[in-house]
Structure formats: structure tokens, C-alpha cells
Amino acid sequence: MKAMSDSSGRLLAGLLLAGFIVGACRADGPERKRPNVLFLVCDDLNCDVGCYGHPQVKTPHIDRLASRGVLFSSAFCQFPLCGPSRASFLTGMYPDQTLVRRNAIYIREHIPNVVTMPQMFRRNGYFATRIGKMYHYNVPKHIGTSGHDDPYSWNQTFNPRGRDVDEESKIFSLRKGQFGGTLSWLAAEGTDEEQTDGIAATLAVERLKDHAKTGRPFFLAVGLYRPHTPYVAPRKYFDMYPVKSIQVPKVPEGYFDTLPMAARQTILRKRDQVNLPEKLAREAIQAYYASITFADAQIGRILKALKQTGLDRNTVVLFTSDHGYHMGEHGHYQKTTLFENSDRVPLVIAGPGVTARGTTHRHPVEMVDFYRTLADLCELKTPGTVTGLSLAPALVKPSRAIRSSALTQYSSGYSLRTARYRYTEWGQDGAGGAELYDRYEDPEELVNLADREEMAATQKGLSGLLRERVSTARQKPKGLVQIEFKNRRRVR
């Protein structure tokens, strides 16, 4: 079946959702309480997850959540960098609307009158709590602080700080003494509960127990730091992944010469972290996998408390990451590319309103859709600035397409992901070159088909669709104040 346009999807989504909400109200009566929200976000987690088919990584708790919810197999971030991505999904707007296109920005520097997703829940009587990283933080520098948080979003905040910060001197780094943007790791001593994310899970468990007593509706956002570098986890998690069992992705000879210069630069800007020697690459991948399984264990503790308190019966759970991540694919490590590895994110939604449990939605969706989805599931009205679509109809009928494509941008490039193709243009009107990948034939996106004669019609169609999507993503939302900075001066 041919995928529908995004505008048609928006209309159909609204009609389906209206029917879903009416049905839900009739079933439960007028006194039915609005659902709570548990919003779980990992940092720098790609789809190397058990329920996404990874043959090695162990994530039993995320897998169990997927078994009682809907897994979105083609969910994409709008910007493969922490700060811009988080600003985007927490406002329901594209990066060209938030004007947040780099890290270390407070969201209201650019859009001072925005109503963020947790702020919208606060305005509707929910108690909004943040534990850990939700907006941008420099990691590990800002662990234990409020980072670039937005205080208007929350009733209550917690900034856990564990022994992973105290033992920073023990961490191995490719660049001695440098962390965050540099590959670094540590098989730590001690328990889960002593690590920053372990403390965050403990705090979340305590919050859930308190909410079970008070009965007040809540929006609880838990932002885990792992598997962001430095990859720190207790040693037992490293032991689950023997170095000899790790497979390192291979890059064809002369591959980089096939890429436009702008795409090449997104990979080669950190030359000491490209095409790592085999031993070092295996150790880095082992540490990343260990951090994923450690993060999964903390998610498991939180979900266990949700069930034990009985809150699982009336709590929508959304689990995701802020963007994808490379582990040697294209010779690259970490994020900031316009390839599948960097742009695709895990996404699972479970709880009230999810009737198609244990199923998969395979059509493209975007992280910008979270805001409207959660609002719809809780029967709340979103502000006019929200531009994302609602995924609620897909939670009832996963085969129903909400979107026909997903849009991601980085640096001077914009990338479109359809069911079959990834198409990217760099520079003004594609002047910096293009990339076209047939993911049916080339799922690793290593053979650039752009400008080939036999692909001319396909490329023309995708280029037109990409530019249409970019134009829409640049539209100023009604009522939004935007402040751009140029040469350190504000320009409204």
C-alpha cells in the first residue's frame, strides 16, 4: 500500500484519534482519571537493542516493555546532536523553528514564550518532575547540576551525581583527560546504585511510590546519561560482552571518496576516531554495549516500581533516546551524521490507549511527534506552536501510516527517509552535493546512487519532496517569538 502524504496523515490521525478518545471515555465513564506519563530517555542510544533484533546486546527490560506496547521501527530524530534534538522533541517543533542548532543553549534564548511539553502538562494540573538529563547537559561536566535545563518546565527537579563522576581520573580516553566528545570508558567497581543513573533510578522509584499515595496525575521524566561517553558501567556488564565476540563494521576501500565533501567532513572531523584499530574498536564497542545493558537494568528497576505500585494501569510509558549513534559504521563513532545509524532512534510506547500490544509500526515517524501524541493520549490540547503529528492512531492500528517520510538535518544538510530511500542534500538547494541510498538493496548506505542516470526520476521526486518538507519545517509557528543570534546580536 502506498504511504499517504503527511497532510493526509494528519487529518486521518485526527479522525481516528477522536474515535479512540470517545470510545475510551464511554468505556471508563466520565470519572475516568487522565493517564500519568512516564517519559524515559537514554542518552546517545542507537537501536542496538534486543527488541530491535540486535543479536548480541542484552536489554530484557526494554524488550519486555515492547511486548506490552508498540515498537516504532522507523523513528527518526530531527537533529543528531543532543541539544537541538532535545529542544525539538520537548517543544514539538523542528530545529529551524526552535533555532536551536547547536549545544549549550538555553531554549528560551531563542524562543522565550514557548510552552514546552512538560510545561503544558503542568498547566493542566500534572506534577512535572525531571530526574537527570532532559534538556542539554555537557557530559560528564554538567552531571550533578541543572546543565541547560528549563526551570519553567518542572515542579520539581533532581540532579543525581554518582561515583562515575568522582572516579573520572580512572577513565580511559583516546585523548587523555578529555571526555564527552571523545571515546572513553571504564569498567567500574561497585554497584549499580552508586552510579549516576543508578541514583536516578532510585529517585524515580521513590517518586512513583509517593505518587501512588497522593494520586495526583504526574509527568515524570527520567533522563539517563548512559550510554553517552564516557561509557562507564559496573564491571559485570563488561563481562557480558567478551572482546573476542565483538564484530567491527567494515568500510569498503575508497569509500570516503564517494561522498560529497560536506558528508565526508561529518565523519573525518575527528580523524583519530575514524577506522579505529581492531583491538581498540572492539574495546570501545564492548564498553558501549555494557553501558546499554546497564541503562536497561535501571529502566527495569523503574518499570518494576511502576507495576508494584499499580500505576502501570494508568500510566503512559514512552521510551526513547535523543538520537542514534555510530559504532564503527562508515568508519565513524558517535553521532552527527545524516546516516541511518545517527538518525534512527528506539521508540516504544505502552500503557493506556495502546491496544495493539506487542506489535510494530514500520512507517517513518519523527521525534517531533512525541508532544502531540502524549497530549492526545491524556486528552490535553496542545499549543498552536506544536507542529508534530499524533502517533496515537498507530497505537490502535500499527499498520496505519501517519507519515510517508521523516526529516533530519545537520550542519548544511537535510536528509529525507522514506520507506525505501534515504535522500540527502547538502548546501543551498543541494549545491554541496547529494546522496541517495536504496535501503532495500543497500541497508548499510554505502553505495551512493545520486546523479546516476537510471535514478534520475527517483532523485527528482525525492528532491522535490525533501524541499517541500524543509519549507514546512522552517515555517514560524503562530504566536511564537523567535530570536536569532548573529554576531552576538539578537535579531528578531
Enzyme catalytic residues: 82, 136
CA 114 vs CA 39, 87, 109, 324, 374: distances in Å = 20, 11, 11, 26, 17
169 φψ region: left (φ > 0), alpha (ψ -120 to 50), beta (else) = alpha
Phi, psi of 5 (to 5 degrees): -70, 160
DSSP 477: P
Alpha helices in 4-116 (DSSP H): 6-28, 60-67, 82-89, 95-98
C-alpha 445/C-alpha 186 separation (Å) is 32
CA 423 vs CA 190, 259, 448, 451, 464: distances in Å = 46, 13, 10, 12, 11
Determine the 3-state secondary structure of 59 from DSSP.
Answer: coil
Q: Copy the grid coordinates of residue 364.
A: 517513518
Encoded amino acid at 133, one letter: K
Q: Copy the grid coordinates of residue 329.
A: 559504521
Residues in the chain: 492
Residue 198 host element (H or E): helix 196-214
C-alpha 290/C-alpha 232 separation (Å) is 8
CA 361 vs CA 8, 161, 358, 393, 439: distances in Å = 18, 37, 10, 11, 18
C-alpha 406/C-alpha 417 separation (Å) is 5
C-alpha 344/C-alpha 338 separation (Å) is 10
* 473 contacts: CB under 8 Å, gap ≥ 6: 78, 94, 95, 96, 97, 387, 407, 409
C-alpha 57/C-alpha 286 separation (Å) is 10
C-alpha 336/C-alpha 329 separation (Å) is 13
Residue 200 host element (H or E): helix 196-214
Beta pairing, strands 184-188 & 231-234: parallel
Determine the 3-state secondary structure of 410 from DSSP.
Answer: strand
